[in-house]
Amino acid sequence: MTETDYYELLQVERTADDKTIKSAYRRIAMECHPDRNPGCKDSEARFKSVSEAYDCLKDPQKRAAYDRFGHAAFRNGGHGGGGAQDFGSFSDIFENIFGEFMNGQADRRTNVLRGSDLRYDLEISLEDAYHGKQVELQIDTSVKCEPCEGTGAKSGTSARTCTMCHGRGQVRAQQGFFVVERTCPSCRGVGEVIADPCDRCRGEGRAEKRRSLEVRIPPGVDEGTRIRLSGEGEAGVRGGPNGDLYIFVHLARHSVFQREGTTLFARCPVSFTVAALGGTIEIPGLDRATHEVKIPAGIQSGKQLRIRGAGMPILSGRGNGDMVVQVEVETPTKLSSRQKELLEEFRKTETGDECPASKSFFGKLRSLWDG
């Protein structure tokens, strides 16, 4: 499958600075946001693609890895399941590139043994994003092997130093004027080999298992919010440290409210009599409270009224955003005989001054015809 270059997705040069990349992402994300293009699958797919591109390029380490290896920098064999995707370990990449220069004969085993990071995409309702939620995740991942306690060797035995790389995990080969270093094919970079591997994990020190994990989603999370759970990723090889789990939050479409940051938007139909005479309407909020909104007499369709503090909670902060109610004047379609008579009486009393915008519009048209 062809993968589009991240820089092309954001329409920036490869030399673009962080400010330019951020500005480009905001512009494109606003254009293709699903809330602005309801029901459009192409816009939804494009929004996910540019979000993925920005998530990579805004991070200096991820961007450096992508610039060198492209999309291959984030593939690591496809472990995990149940909604989880393998992130791969960036430390492996940077250790391979810079380890020899930064630390000479540095021991590479720590990075090789570390488990991979995992990604889990979680969809929640707007109500759950408002109040927060305790969720239970089911993740298929690797955990420390119980029979061998993560060593990879049968009980009573142990690993021995690899004779090919002498425990370094890397082997060197001369190619002309250059010395090329690569992962040891015998021990796969671990530095040790197991003569009598564990029957269950076959020397890996880890085994596949479905895990249940309780996670608290804090109030105020937004689309694309990333929650990092340290040490909850894949188990490391032969007792190495676990990777991390990254939960990416996605919000389901709401039947009434639309969200932009901490502001909630709602379209509210009102009868033409309320619009003409004024009145009060009640709006139930996500805070489970009823908010009274005063409708001024003569309000027009499209007018927005703001309710302070009735919007979304501020993530990791205090207070709430606002709720914005957009008034839509509804023309009645089912009238009784008496109502029709009253409206006919009203029409007979009209002078045109009741609706100045309409009077002005038709006055301009008449002036054009007269001309």
The string of pLDDT tens digits covering residues 228-239 is 999 999 998 888
Residue type, 53: A
For domain 1-74, the CATH architecture is Orthogonal Bundle (1.10)
Could you tell me which CATH class the domain 258-356 is placed in? mainly beta
Domain(s) of CATH 1.10.287.110: residues in the chain: 1-74
Please determine, for residue 78, whether its predicted confidence score (pLDDT) is greater than 60.
Answer: no
3-class SS letters over the chain: CCCCCHHHHHCCCCCCCHHHHHHHHHHHHHHHCCCCCCCCHHHHHHHHHHHHHHHHHCCHHHHHHHHHHHHHHHCCCCCCECCEEEEECHHHHHHHHHHHHHHCCCCCHHHHHCCCEEEEEEEECHHHHHHCEEEEEEEEEEEECCCCCCCCECCCCCCEECCCCCCCCEEEEEECCEEEEEECCCCCCCCEECCCECCCCCCCCEEEEEEEEEEEECCCCCCCCEEEECCCCCCCHHHCCCCCEEEEEEECCCCCCEEECCEEEEEEEEEHHHHHHCEEEEEECCCCCEEEEEECCCCCCCCEEEECCCCCECCCCCCECCEEEEEEEECCCCCCHHHHHHHHHHHHHCCCCCCHHHHHHHHHHHHHHHC
Please determine, for residue 33, whether its predicted confidence score (pLDDT) is greater than 80.
Answer: yes
pTM of the predicted model as reported, rounded to 2 decimal places: 0.60
The predicted structure's pLDDT at residue 307: 95
- Which two structure tokens, joined as six digits, stand for 364? 């301009």
Residue entry with tokens 């008496």: 338
CA distance 305 to 253: 23
For domain 76-159+194-251, the CATH architecture is Sandwich (2.60)
- Check the annotation: does 198 bind a ligand: yes
- Give the strand pairing for 117-124 and 245-251: parallel
Q: What proportion of the chain, given as a percentage, has pLDDT over 70?
A: 88
> pLDDT per residue over 169-224, tens digit each?
888 877 666 778 888 888 877 788 888 888 888 888 888 889 999 999 999 999 99
- Confidence class of residue 305 from pLDDT cuts 50, 70 and 90? very high
Domain(s) of CATH 2.60.260.20: residues in the chain: 76-159+194-251, 258-356
Residue 264 neighbours by CB under 8 Å, 6+ apart = 257, 258, 285, 286, 310, 311, 312, 321, 322, 323, 324
The predicted structure's pLDDT at residue 340: 93
The predicted structure's pLDDT at residue 69: 75
> pLDDT per residue over 256-282, tens digit each?
999 999 999 999 999 999 999 999 999
- Check the annotation: does 201 bind a ligand: yes
- Check the annotation: does 355 bind a ligand: no
- Check the annotation: does 56 bind a ligand: no
- Check the annotation: does 40 bind a ligand: no
Please determine, for residue 101, whether its predicted confidence score (pLDDT) is greater than 70.
Answer: no
- Check the annotation: does 148 bind a ligand: yes
